[in-house]
Structure 1
Amino acid sequence: MSSYGDEDSIPLHSRGHAPSRSRIYWRTEMTIRQLLRPRAIISLLKVVVPLVVLSVLLGLYYWEPHVEIAFYNRAWVSQEILQVPPLAGCFARDRVSPTYNVTDALYGPRHTEVHAGTPLQFGMDCYDFAGTVQLRSQSPPRESIPPDDRIQYHTYWRTDLAAFGPRQEWMLKSFFATQDLSRSRLILWSNGDLSQNAILQKWLRRYPNSFALKVVDYHTLARGTELEGSELLNVNDTKAWIDGDLVRLLVIWAYGGVWVDMDSLLTRDLAPLLEHEFVTQWDCYDKKYVPMNGALMRFHKHSPYLCEAFHVMATSPPPRKGTTDWGALLYLKLRRRLLAAGIPPFKVLPFCFSDARSCRLDNRLPDPFAPDPSHGLWTMGLGREEGGGLDKALGKVFSVHLHNQWDKPFPRGGWVERLLLRRYDERIGSGEL
């Protein structure tokens, strides 16, 4: 038994020895227990919470947050994305329409290149690439081209959603001001009769060979396709999410040409693009499962690409309500099947060609519905004045997609009014006869 003065009674750390592992563990555990006590936690929060709030406020002052999170069901991805079923055979020689030249459409020489091959996310890369797509010189036609023989441009307005008014008229003006009206015709499709609309009557009188109205008949347009007689054609108000995708594919199948969403403002002649069949990139972020859309698209009449698209629609599970399954997902499915079959796929225009608002905060087009800032700058030191950086970028791209927002007015004196709308009126006048 040791006495008080025995060496064994002296703590180890007093004798120059390191404390044991058990003693270190015990002290660490005691420290953690103390920190986890309610009083300690409250004291810690009194310091941490203000620091976090201050950091967030400072961050919001210097940076604009841009966060997008999406969740995809793994079973859905496995079934709808990863599987690559075979094509329906629309490119077989005995099935291709005599109006469609496979050799030229798939393998013919091209003057322009529209598929960038890279995301073009940085700086002015996308705008500069768009500027490389130029039209070969064309002499005026010797005689008037019949309306049905012109390049057909298609757009669509649902009469049951809102009346066709001055805001919708700007899309028509953008077409008349930017396209070669001696070679093109715009068809405004609708699900109701628009022939009595005063605005549209005015433009029909002024451009009888370059503008027309048509009412959609899904069953007539679908003749000769895999959707003929399908229940999917029975579109009603509860299936408005299907409506837009059906219209654009069916009218281009039946007539050929170019589809332009009604909520677009054309900024440049689309002719340099027309030697290709294409859809457009959704945005510059390379979304895995929804990389493409049809807001601006071009296919020939009775194109086998569209024939295959109808097969995908007819044989796939019904689209999930409120999704883009028949838009972005449809084109992805079709493209992967074409690649697996060794068939050159349709082109995909870079995002900025038609939707330059859908990219990074430092290079996207400004908000069309927000007033210009007092400093007059756009980005990277580029200005919004006539002849400035924004003006030059608009001259390189082909369209500005407004993403509906029909209830929002264009700010008076804003960049849309100054650089686009006023110029439309200058080129074509008010449209009065």
Structure 2
Amino acid sequence: MYTFQDSAPRLRSATVHRHDYAHDLSPPQSVTGPDDDYTPFLPPPQPTYRSRGRRWPLNLWPLNLVPWPQRRTVRKFLKFAIPLAAFSLLLVFYLYETQIEVAFYSRGWVQREIDPIGPLSGCFEPSRVSAKYNVSEAVYGRRRTEVQAGLPMRRGLDCYDFSGTIQMHRDDVRPRGRLHPDARTQFHTYWRTDLVPFGPRQEWMIKSFFATQDVQASRLIVWSNGDLTTNEILRGYVAQHPESFALRVVDIAALAKSTELDGSELLKLKDKKAWLDGDLLRLLLLWNYGGVWVDMDSLLTRDLTPLLEHEFVTQWDCYGTPIYANFSGVRAKVALRTEKPYQPLNGALMRFRQHSPYLCEAFHIMAISPPPRIHSTDWGSLLYLKLWRRLIAHAIPPFKILPFCFSDGRSCRLDNRLPDPFKPDNRAGKWTMGLGLEEGGGLDDVLDKVFGVHLHNQWEKAFPPGGWVERLLLNRYDLRLAALEARSLLEEDEGDGEEL
């Protein structure tokens, strides 16, 4: 039997040994007293993981949560599971085209730039509306066509079919005869001479204008920041169509004279992508002259006349709703979205009347907002969204928003977007839902319904020979232009005969 005096030394020995063990990673030694083989419980030594000279306890790795007897089995499983998972992912990416778009927006930026709805500046007040703008007709007047479906139209060919419902009205057909160039519908576009020289690739937009629009009732003006009159391609159009085509050099300061941006340092902003100055210029040109803005990287496919009774911008793409999921019966909004929540609108194709109050309010927002970020759409998509929200908050009917496919059918689901213009046609000769790519096929029918194809600044890419763009658009432009030239020569000959 032990006495208190006998047990005390053994307890002290064990205590000292534990204290030493905390500083020593050597295997534990047995602790026994002088009279028995008693050994107190000590934990096993902690394995360590050496990495770049530093010692980290291995229990930081989740494998240490597995009991010791099963760890060898888990390691063997992971040796096969990890390579198999990696191979499976590579196989999926090889067999399927995967498109994932994740955008990160600063919460502070959203709270500062998106959430607040500021007041309007009063541009719609009767005393401030220009005499050149009829509010009753432009904002509240009756319309022959409806350009907003009220549905996202992301499935199948719904958007393209809806575009086909907008047809030319008999009142849209203008009587033949000479119309003064300034009285025509003005089409505006812009080219930065210091970025890329104007060449045959840029000429296709001009060809698409003359092949699709009523040249006796419209005029295309190519604006630039430098002199383009020496360009041989453009000189030919000026000589051949003096009343339907013109070249102009922009003067930003002069165009902004009657706006809130008059004299502002913001007028000097520009970037290497021509986003800031391009977004500013389109608004200033439409304010001063009215009409239609078309980005130079577009191909028109149809007469825009049925749309011109509206003032509009365009929808950026076909997405517009967040992803929703059910968790334990509770409907929750997932952070990952299938849309551009703060970039829903686009100005590649837009139309406003001269001195439109919508543009007046846009200039006000630009003047009081922080300067735009370089290479951003702050003066484009973000500006249109701010303006639209302010208008409806003050009970003013907003401008219209054309569905995405009207001019940007490339921006939608993989199963219903337009084929890539810069890739050869697929071997099956099909587009989507079994529709063919040949002349008279499903894609050809769709192109007859929409109003344009936006190419998104991919100037460095060439159209593949024999591809759908060449067969269904470019070749037809040349045929129509040749027919127009022949008819023009015939009319000149008839006029000369009458004079004789």
The letter for the 2-side match of 1:90 is C
Aligned equivalents of 1:134, 1:200: Cα separation in 2? 32
Per the TM alignment, residue 239 of structure 1 is displaced from its structure 2 partner at its CA by: 8.6
Deviations along 1:342-362, whole A, 9 cap, x unmatched? Answer: 000000001110100000000
2:251 counterpart of 1:251: no
Aligned equivalents of 2:103, 2:369: Cα separation in 1? 22
Per the TM alignment, residue 61 of structure 1 is displaced from its structure 2 partner at its CA by: 4.4
Aligned equivalents of 2:64, 2:222: Cα separation in 1? 77
CA contact (8 A) 2:177 2:216 kept: no
Unaligned runs of 5+ in 2: 1-62, 321-339, 490-500
| Partner residue in 2 for 1:219 | 253
Per the TM alignment, residue 51 of structure 1 is displaced from its structure 2 partner at its CA by: 2.7
Of 41, 46, 60, 2:79 maps to: 46
Of 408, 413, 421, 1:360 maps to: 413
| Equivalent runs, 1:118-129 vs 2, <5 Å | 118-129=151-162
Of 291, 296, 303, 2:356 maps to: 303
Per the TM alignment, residue 35 of structure 1 is displaced from its structure 2 partner at its CA by: 8.2
Per the TM alignment, residue 73 of structure 1 is displaced from its structure 2 partner at its CA by: 0.6
Identity within the alignment, %: 65
| Partner residue in 1 for 2:455 | 402
Per the TM alignment, residue 119 of structure 1 is displaced from its structure 2 partner at its CA by: 1.2
Aligned equivalents of 1:118, 1:177: Cα separation in 2? 32
* TM-score normalised by structure 1 residue count: 0.90
Aligned equivalents of 1:35, 1:349: Cα separation in 2? 66
Of 131, 136, 156, 1:98 maps to: 131
| Equivalent runs, 1:31-42 vs 2, <5 Å | 32-34=66-68, 37=71, 39-40=72-73, 42=75
| Partner residue in 1 for 2:347 | 294
The letter for the 2-side match of 1:342 is A
| Partner residue in 1 for 2:7 | none
2:313 counterpart of 1:279: yes
Aligned equivalents of 2:348, 2:298: Cα separation in 1? 9
The letter for the 1-side match of 2:275 is W
Per the TM alignment, residue 117 of structure 1 is displaced from its structure 2 partner at its CA by: 1.6
Per the TM alignment, residue 238 of structure 1 is displaced from its structure 2 partner at its CA by: 6.2
Per the TM alignment, residue 405 of structure 1 is displaced from its structure 2 partner at its CA by: 1.0
Aligned equivalents of 1:399, 1:329: Cα separation in 2? 23
Larger Rg: 2
The letter for the 2-side match of 1:115 is Q
| Partner residue in 2 for 1:20 | none
Per the TM alignment, residue 288 of structure 1 is displaced from its structure 2 partner at its CA by: 1.5
Per the TM alignment, residue 242 of structure 1 is displaced from its structure 2 partner at its CA by: 1.2
| Partner residue in 2 for 1:4 | none
Aligned equivalents of 2:69, 2:204: Cα separation in 1? 65
Per the TM alignment, residue 57 of structure 1 is displaced from its structure 2 partner at its CA by: 3.6
CA RMSD of aligned residues (A): 1.9
**Which structure carries more relative contact order (alpha carbon 8 Å, separation 6+)?**
1
Aligned equivalents of 2:100, 2:243: Cα separation in 1? 47
CA contact (8 A) 2:276 2:375 kept: no
Deviations along 1:8-38, whole A, 9 cap, x unmatched? Answer: xxxxxxxxxxxxxxxxxxxxx998234885x
Of 333, 352, 377, 2:386 maps to: 333
Of 201, 204, 208, 1:174 maps to: 208
Distance 1:143 1:240, change over 3 A: closer
Deviations along 1:100-154, whole A, 9 cap, x unmatched? Answer: 0001111101011011222111100110011011110244424311000000000
The letter for the 1-side match of 2:464 is P
Aligned equivalents of 1:336, 1:366: Cα separation in 2? 34
SS of the residue corresponding to residue 386 of structure 1 reads: coil
